[in-house]
């Protein structure tokens, strides 16, 4: 008997995540200092002592040079997982192990850096004595780069319902003393995103240098208020170990205290440098993710639901891998608990002209940033400047510039 075409079984959907093993490149950041030490040794072996110290700056070199070049060369990602494989992909534990592996490597790199900051005999690296001050600062910024990317790893873990992953998130944040991010991002930013009330949503006409202190202080204050309110509902004082802001900071205090106890107080200035640089990298990404975007008020006076149009996206494949799909930010805000491997580029989302790594450098230069981004914000709203989230101090001048009285 011949089976008709209509009766033939439907073949299972065949789909391959072409980035499956590329996600391991996300471990470049927490191993970069070890790579730097090997490069310094190798250059010294070949008599290139004058050039060798540049490798202690490997973190900034990655962020400001290598990643933008690779994004430019390899271009957009272009692959979205189909709906049929989402559940299977979400439950594949390989992907979460890629993020778990970040944490021990991060801690090992931090300990190794403390050794390098304090060592007086680095002859095994071909160095007479210890590191010079410039090399130590470069190393601090490289460790800070690891810490900044680590905040993104914590961001991935902190959104999950699994209690282990939530604690791993706090451990990852301990290096940069930014544990309150765990509270503010999940319960503050995701509620108020793309509104004037959100300290982590940059406003049209606001420079990064004005945004940075506003976001740092506003997020800290918000996280404390959120925890204070939560504990008050339980009849508890905020001054308790159950306050997730305090217990996250306690992890940082224990980590830093242990490093100072082992390596001496000389490491403290470099720990501060790496922490400030690390959380500043996070805030630079915050700056570019929602710049000028605004959720409109409904007839009832509430803000409209957050949609893909309220986040700037980029789908450049190299930074996608480096930052666990953080650039697919609209899908993240629509589905906060969705794991990074299942995030998709969404229709309707405004797109940045390049990857996050390239845009970070641009954010430091306000005239160039506004030249590139202000017209894009306005175009996103069809030329209607009244729909834009404008910096209050510049509102009158901005409206006048675009002919609105």
Write out pLDDT tens, residues 192-216: 999 999 999 999 999 999 999 999 9
Is residue 64 within 8 Å of residue 361, measured between CB atoms?
yes
Is 90 exceeded by the pLDDT of residue 65?
yes
Closest alpha carbon to 319 in 83, 62, 41: 62
pLDDT at 15: 82
The pLDDT tens digits of the residues spanning 384-397 come to 999 999 999 999 99
How far apart, in Å, are the Cα atoms of 308 and each of 160, 270, 326, 331, 348?
Answer: 21, 40, 14, 7, 6
Q: How many residues does the chain have?
A: 405
Helix, strand, or coil (residue 159): coil
Q: What is the DSSP string of 209-225?
A: HHHHHHHHHHHHHHHHH
Q: Which residue has the tokens 């079984």?
A: 9
| 344 CB-near residues (< 8 Å, 6+ apart) | 80, 81, 328, 331
pLDDT over 80 at 8, yes or no: no
What average pLDDT does the segment 270-280 reach? 97
Mean pLDDT across the chain: 91
**Helical spans, DSSP H, in 46-92:** 58-61, 67-74, 86-90
The per-residue pLDDT for 336 is 86
Structure-block tokens of residue 377: 């914000």
pLDDT at 13: 60
Q: How high is the pLDDT of residue 5?
A: 40
8 A C-beta contact, residue 196 and residue 267: no
Cβ atoms of 103 and 17 within 8 Å: the answer is no
* Cα–Cα distance, 357 to 68 (Å, whole number): 6
The predicted-structure confidence for 244-263, as pLDDT tens digits, reads as follows: 999 999 999 999 999 999 99
User: For residue 403, is pLDDT > 90?
Assistant: no
User: CA 281, CA 276: separation in Å to the nearest integer?
Assistant: 9
Task: Return the pLDDT at 338.
Answer: 87
**C-beta neighbour count of 35 within 10 angstroms:** 13
pLDDT of 46 > 80? The answer is yes
The residue among 53, 158, 30, 71 whose CA lies nearest residue 360 is: 71
């Amino acid at each position: 008997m011949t089976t008709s075409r209509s009766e033939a079984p439907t073949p299972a959907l065949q789909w391959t995540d072409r980035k499956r093993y590329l996600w391991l490149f996300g471990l470049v950041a927490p191993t970069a200092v070890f790579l730097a030490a090997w490069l310094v040794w190798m250059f010294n072996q070949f008599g290139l002592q004058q050039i060798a110290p540049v490798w202690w700056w490997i973190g900034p070199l990655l962020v400001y040079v290598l990643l933008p070049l690779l994004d430019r060369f390899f271009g957009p990602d272009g692959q979205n997982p189909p709906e049929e494989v989402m559940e299977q992909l979400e439950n594949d534990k390989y992907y979460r192990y890629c993020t778990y592996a970040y944490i021990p490597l991060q801690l090992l790199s931090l300990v190794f850096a403390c050794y390098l900051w304090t060592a007086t005999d680095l002859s095994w690296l071909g160095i007479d004595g210890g590191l010079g001050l410039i090399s130590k600062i470069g190393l601090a910024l490289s460790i800070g780069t690891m810490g900044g990317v680590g905040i993104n790893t914590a961001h991935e873990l902190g959104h999950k319902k699994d209690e282990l992953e939530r604690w791993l998130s706090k451990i990852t944040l301990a290096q940069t003393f930014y544990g309150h991010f765990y509270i503010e991002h999940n319960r503050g930013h995701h509620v108020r995103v793309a509104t004037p009330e959100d300290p982590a949503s940059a406003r049209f006409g606001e420079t990064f240098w004005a945004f940075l202190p506003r976001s740092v202080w506003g997020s800290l204050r918000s996280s404390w208020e959120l925890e204070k309110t939560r504990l008050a509902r339980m009849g508890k004082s905020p001054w308790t170990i159950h306050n997730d802001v305090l217990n996250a900071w306690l992890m940082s205090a224990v980590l830093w205290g242990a490093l100072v106890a082992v390596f001496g107080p000389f490491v403290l200035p470099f720990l501060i440098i790496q922490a400030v640089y690390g959380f500043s990298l996070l805030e630079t990404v915050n700056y570019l993710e929602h710049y000028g975007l605004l959720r409109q008020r409904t007839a009832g006076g509430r803000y409209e639901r957050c949609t893909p149009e309220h986040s700037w996206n980029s789908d450049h494949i190299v930074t996608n891998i480096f930052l666990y799909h953080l650039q697919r930010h609209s899908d993240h805000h629509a589905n906060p608990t969705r794991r990074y491997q299942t995030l998709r580029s969404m229709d309707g989302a405004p797109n940045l002209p390049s990857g996050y790594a390239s845009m970070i450098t641009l954010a430091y230069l306000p005239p160039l940033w506004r030249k590139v981004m202000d017209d894009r914000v306005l175009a996103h709203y069809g030329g209607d400047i009244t729909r834009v989230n404008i910096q209050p101090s510049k509102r009158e001048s901005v409206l006048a510039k675009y002919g609105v009285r």
